[in-house]
Every structure is written in C-alpha cells, then in structure tokens.
Structure 1
Amino acid sequence: MTTPLFLLRCVQLGLSMGDLDLLTIGLVNDMFTERENDDCNYDSLATQEDFDAF
C-alpha cells in the first residue's frame, strides 16, 4: 500500500491526524475493510447452537 492510498482510506473513514497517533496501519486497514463489508447481506447467520457445536 502506498502512502497516498493509506491517507485516502483515512479520509474516507473520517480519521483525523490526531486519530492516527492512536491507530496502527493494520487497524486502519481492518476498519476500512469492515466499512466496505457493511452492505453485505449474508444468507444465514450463526445461532448460539452453531457456536456451541463449533
């Protein structure tokens, strides 16, 4: 990832320069990935029984 791409992602997430003092590059990437996945619709969601069986 280039520096301009990283800064673009920060702007898209609404992060300030002060926020970047507290965040790592990996955390910013994870936040961006999760934001992109917000509109995903999953066919099924796991229930408690699914977690217990796992």
Structure 2
Amino acid sequence: MFHRIIHENWVAIVPIAAFALTFTVFIGVLVRAVVMKKDKREHLASLPLDDNRN
C-alpha cells in the first residue's frame, strides 16, 4: 500500500522535472541569443545562404 503511494508521487515529479529542464534550456538559449554580438548574429543568419564553403 505504501509502495503504491510513493510510486504515484514519483510519477507526478517526472513531468515537472522535464518541464523545468526544458524551460531552463529555452531560457538559456534565449539569453545567449539576446546577448550575442550583432556581427556574430548576422554571420549565423547568413550561413544557410552563404556560397563560400570553408
């Protein structure tokens, strides 16, 4: 009986942890994109259209 209660609490924690991890990664990428220098942003934005392959 007690094992089932602990198991149900564990199942409730997994989606919260997954959401927290996803949210943290999203915020990290967002902060990195906002802080990035303008010339680096323009370089990365033009990569798909760049004909010069190094």
Higher-Rg member (1/2): 2
When normalised by structure 2's length, the TM-score is 0.33
Structure with greater contact order relative to length (CA < 8 Å, sep ≥ 6):
1
TM norm structure 1: 0.33
Bigger helix share: 2
